Amino acid sequence: MSQGSNAGVKRNRRPTGTKSVERKIHLDPATAAAIAVASKASGQMSFSLYLERLIGQLEAELGALPVLSPTLDGTEVITKRAA
C-alpha cells in the first residue's frame, strides 16, 4: 500500500515545551483511518492532539469520559452524571 507524502503539510501540534507521554495503542485499521481523516479535516491536527481534543469535548459535554460496556456489542454508556 502506497501512501502519499505529507511533506510540506503544516500540522497543528501541542505548544512547544508541553510535555506528553508516549503510549502505544493498537487500533483496528478502519478506526485508525477514520481518526486520520477526521484529524486532517479538523485543521491538520496531529493524531494525538485530535484524540486529546475529542476527549476534552466528551468531558465538557458529559461531565466525564463515558464508561463503556465491556462487550463490543453493548451500547450502554454510563456517565458520572447518570450515576
Alpha-carbon span 1 to 82, nearest angstrom: 45
pLDDT, one tens digit per residue, over 37-73 is 999 999 888 888 899 999 999 999 999 998 887 776 6
Domain boundaries along the sequence of the chain: 29-78
User: pTM surpassing 0.85?
Assistant: no
What is the share, in percent, of the chain residues with pLDDT greater than 90? Answer: 37
